Structure 1
């Protein structure tokens, strides 16, 4: 009897979550590094995370390992005047947070209450922004759509917010891990969106 041909090494078998060698983990690390490099110009942050989510979504759908060329193609597709304009909000938000943090540290009335409010605002903006970048094609990143999805799926929003908080804590405690963290964060945003889009099985 002739043996069935072995599956290609770059594909996962049906129903297999982790391929040999923990390829999924390696995929996230690769996406994290590529996203960190793509974020260096700062204004490219939205396009970089859109490309990360699209690359991970494609990998999950086809079962193939992630290639640098695939990420580069998605990045080129998401680089536009609109995404670059949205990227200007990143340094602007950073400046606002620095100014507000300086005011909170001052002897101003209500400063103790402003500190947690500022942290929650930052966490909320990051979570909604990630949900915007995880929107599947043909959707373009949209703050309105991300807000609607966040409100319609509070559990998923809470899970994604927890992932963002964990990434922030890891950045603070182990800065050397920072270049790798965009991958798991983008993966979390993608999984949360796929969780909503995938219909529940009937028992």
Structure 2
């Protein structure tokens, strides 16, 4: 599970105690002003509001950087997309670099012929949760292939575009796309009958 971004903690502590001589607070009050509020246009006082410090800090953080860690694990690509939406180029690049480092520094990396790769998909809308199993095999010119062996998508589901999308031929690194898009937390890698990477393990 990813650590909560320390920037959120900094924002929270700053709001809770903005000055050394100020007592810590758990609730912040203010005045709500809207450019579309007719009350403001006629000179009436803005409406008061109150918000818990941690909720306001999360709101500020999301406005600046995108969603903070909510306890849900994300793929490197999803983390980079969150940073891109927040217009944080540094965080976007860092997410992609960290994803690459996490894969290439794993003790079992690179993939080998005979490896089994399992990927788990959470339920999304009407599509139920399911899994896929791929087999890594030798391919031409020293490259590798990754072919779908089986899946657990229930019969009757629309399979077009749902299964086998990570199968590759003649790839120098067949795990790279799967690692970045699905995320390491959804993958389990089995080598010589033993799991060497268990996705989602705590």
Query: TM class, shorter-chain normalised?
Result: under 0.3
> What TM-score does the superposition give when structure 2 sets the normalisation length?
0.28
Point out the structure with the larger strand share: 2
Per chain length, whose mean CA-contact separation is higher, i.e. which structure has more relative contact order (CA < 8 Å, sep 6+)? 1
Q: Which has the larger radius of gyration?
A: 2
Point out the structure with the larger helix share: 1
